Amino acid sequence: MMSSLARHRAAFWASLSARERRTLTAMASAVVGLHVLGFVALFVFAVPGRDHLGKAGALTIGIGINFGVVTVGNIGSSERHNYSAIGDAVNVAARLEGLTKELGRKILITEAVVSRIGERYQFDPLGSHKVKGHSPVNIWGIRTVRAASAA
């Protein structure tokens, strides 16, 4: 028998489109990844004799998330290939990752992401920014995850 919580989760995921699920999964993965990185930093830098690695804050990353059409698969020749994702959406996400330090945010997202999951998170609009090889992009920073409404 399915618990009430399991039924609620199943109904929630069933109510989302495939695009919303993928976008929400990307956001959740980014948030969880940052938490895991924080735990790794605590353990790595708490080990005696590891002072040469620097301060705990040295393990920092930036994450850029975009939504769009991409080509995914083994790309290359029969002798040399790599599983990869390519396309304009990938390039924009990579450029966002590069802006995280400049804008002081760990996760930056585009309007395409906000339009799909905006009600589930709180975002700070960070304005339109020119990214290399692309027209200006509207960027948001994630503030918090909104509490689930009682159903």
* Tens-place pLDDT, residues 49-105: 555 455 544 667 889 999 999 888 888 888 888 888 899 999 999 999 999 989 988
CA atoms of 73 and 71, how far apart (whole Å)? 7
* Tens-place pLDDT, residues 106-145: 899 999 999 888 677 788 999 999 988 888 999 999 876 5
Element (H, E) at 27: helix 18-46
Contacts with 114 (C-beta within 8 Å, 6 or more apart), sequence order? 123, 140
Q: Which of 125, 68, 137, 135 is nearest to 97 (CA)?
A: 137
pTM exceeds cut of 0.75: no
Q: Which of 104, 93, 91, 102 is nearest to 142 (CA)?
A: 104
Residues 45-56: b if buried by 16+ CB within 10 A, e if exposed: beeeeeeeeeee
List the chain domain ranges: 17-145
Element (H, E) at 108: strand 107-110
CA atoms of 30 and 108, how far apart (whole Å)? 10
CATH number of 17-145: 3.30.70.1230
